[in-house]
Each structure stands twice: as C-alpha cells, then as structure tokens.
Amino acid sequence: MDLIGWAIFIVALLVSVMLHETGHFLVAKRFGMKVTRYFVGFGPTIWSTWRGDTEYGIKALPLGGFVKIVGMHSLDDPDDPADELQAFRSHPAWQRILVLCAGSATHFLLALLLVFGLALGVGIANDNVTQLGEISPCVPTSLAAYNNGTCGSDAPASPAKLAGLRAGDTVTAFDGHPVSTFNQLGDAIRAVPAGSPVTLTVRRDGKLVTLHTKLASVSGRSGSYLGIGPAVLFQVASPLGAIEYSGTTFGQVLVGSAQAVGSLPGGLSKLFAKNRSSTEAGQVTSVVGAAEATGAEVGSNAGWQYKVSFVLLLIASLNIFVGAFNMLPLLPLDGGHIAAIVYERIRAWFARLRGRPDPGLVNMAKLVPVSFSLFLVIVVFSLVLVAADIVNPLQLTGG
C-alpha cells in the first residue's frame, strides 16, 4: 500500500507539471504564437508525432515536461526568420504576460477543482472532535515502525490499549484538563514526560468513564506516546458550501505557504535536528517527504474517506504552493519573466515621455548570471531538503 501511495503522488505530480505546460501551450496557441514542441519527460525521445507546427512526444525520463514557444526568450531565434511574426516576443506585452501566467493558473484551477470535488464527493472533515477512530495495539519499536503503523513481535502493548480505550470513545479531558480538538489532545499528550501516569475521561455509550495508564515513548520521536488516532467525521457539502470551502482552503494554504517560505531562513539549520517537526523546519518538505507521507497514509489503518481527503488536499496544497512560488518576481521563474516584461513597458513609457524611441526588449543575456545563480540556489536547497527528508523525516502527527 505504501508503494501505491508513492505511485499516486508521482502520477499526480507529473500530471500537475504537464497541466502547467498545457496552460502555456493553450494560451500561446490562442494568441497565434508558434509552439514547436510539447513533450512529457526529459532525455532521449521515445515517441513523437507532428500535428501542424507542433511536435508532440514522450521522453525517457518522466521527470516533468516542457513546451517550446518560438521566441519565448529574447535569446531565442526562430529556425525560420519567417516565424518571427509568430514569435512570443513579437506579441503585445499583455498577451505575453497571460501566457506566462497560464502555468500557475492551471495549478490554481486544479487545486480548486480537487477541493471542490472533495467537498461534494467525500465530504468536509470535522477535525474539531476528540472521538477516537484508531487504537494502536503496540508501542512502535522505531520511528519507521511508527510512521508505517507496524508492530513487531516483541513490541509492548500501547498505553491506549492498556488503558482500555476503544474506537468510538470521545475524550473529554486529559489529566484533568478539558480537551475539545484532537490537535489539542495530541499537544497535551506530547507535553507530558514519557513514563508519567495520566488520567483520561472519555464518553462511552453516553456515560463518562475514567481510565488510567502510563505514557510511553517511541525511539527517534519527540514527545510521549499514547497510541490513538482520530475518527474524523465527514459531511458532504452543498454546491455553495463546496465553493466556500474551496475558497477558504485556497486562502489558508496560500497564507500557510507564505509563512513556510518566510520561515525557511530560520529553519535551514534545523532540518537535521531531532526535534525538526516542532521547529520552523517542520513546515517544509520535499517531494520525497510528501511522497512518503502519501505512502504512509494510504498504507495506514485509517478509513477510506480520511485517506482520500489526505491525498487530495496534499495534491491541492502542492499545486497552490507551486503556482504561487512560480509567480515570484525572480528569474528563471515565470514571475521573473513577467517582471522583465513589466520593466520593459515602464521603460518604454518613460522613453515616450522623453520623445525617444522604444528601447525594445530587455536584454536577457545580461540576466543569465542572475537566473543561473537563483536556479542553482533552488537546486541546492531542494537537494538538501530531500536529504533531510531521507535521513530525518518529518514525524506524522498523532498521540
């Protein structure tokens, strides 16, 4: 099941990338720009065919894809001088900006459709409950066993099992303190030292029951361990409710993404810390971390609604983040090219005021070192993040 989760994430990522390129492709075609190539993957060509002026094909390495629009950068020259009129750079600024924005727009549209479909088809999860849906039978012997939800033959019984907790119980108080959400309960559990005796008050069959146990610990995981999972309740939304939920989720992810990016400078030094999950470094993950989380969730004992909700929201969040990040006014991102066009038009406006000719396109050759430097920074940071997710993976939340 873990492999199925990985496969789901990888396919979703590839589809998202190709939809990004399809956005550029469709808008460029709409404005009469010449698009010569539309390929899935990179490396040697496995298969291709021509339709009109465009070659469609599949490359050997399924690591994304690309679209080649004639004259998309001022450094490009058409193979045929007659194509200059159809070149990207020969079109009005507003058309070029729309072509560049189309990639991120497809990410945003996909995310909204996924969340909308989730609300209508599966339902909206109610996380503001402390009802238990899963009781772990054991204390995992390692962090890997904890993330995979597996028990070894020599694993001791979990504190939750020893206490007599059952799926369907609703926890109303932990150690004498009322709790109303599962996140609040989880924080309370992790705050108490392992080995400490605790008391839980649960509502079972309409009656309050008091249970006692001692918290345990999982090697490599910070905080104490009880061995419980939430029973997330889902309610199918109306079309208007689904629209509202989509907009709210989009805004929350967008704000959260901005906060995560803002916390990166402070989190870099903590990517390999034991308590990474509770620091700024716990707010970011690589595609490896996201794929591992998907695999672990699909392979868990959670209900199908929770699994589908987790996967769809993860894919939607990834698309929102990528779409927003791509619009940053930095080269070689699309936002950087948009900024260059805006600067181009501002410069042309000042030239007209002074009675001078239009200076023309921005000389991208001068910006190549800047573009390459930023690209190198992104690659290096991505590799560091991948390494952190491999040797110091984020711990899944829970008690």
Positions marked active-site: 21
Q: List Cα–Cα distances, 367 to 63, 98, 103, 364, 374, in angstroms.
A: 27, 22, 22, 5, 11
Amino acid at 259: Q
Write down the residue that tokens 């075609």 correspond to. 29
Element (H or E) spanning 368, and its range?
helix 368-391
The packing angle between helices 93-121 and 239-262, to 10°, is: 120
Q: Nearest to residue 8, comparing CAs of 391, 399, 312?
A: 312
- DSSP letters of 288-300? HHHHHHHHHHHTS
- Cβ(74)–Cβ(93) under 8 Å? no
Q: 54-69 and 132-135 as β-strands: parallel, antiparallel, unpaired?
A: unpaired
The encoded tokens of residue 312 equal 């769809």
Query: Does residue 312 sit in helix, strand or coil?
Result: helix
- DSSP state at residue 226: -
Query: Does residue 153 sit in helix, strand or coil?
Result: coil
- Cβ(331)–Cβ(325) under 8 Å? no
Q: Nearest to residue 336, comparing CAs of 291, 378, 280, 391?
A: 378
41 sits in the region (left: phi over 0; alpha: psi -120 to 50; else beta) called: left
The Cα 275–Cα 270 span in angstroms is 8
CA angle 68/72/74 to nearest 5° reads: 135
Q: Which residues, in sequence order, are CB contacts of 353 under 8 Å at separation 6+? A: none
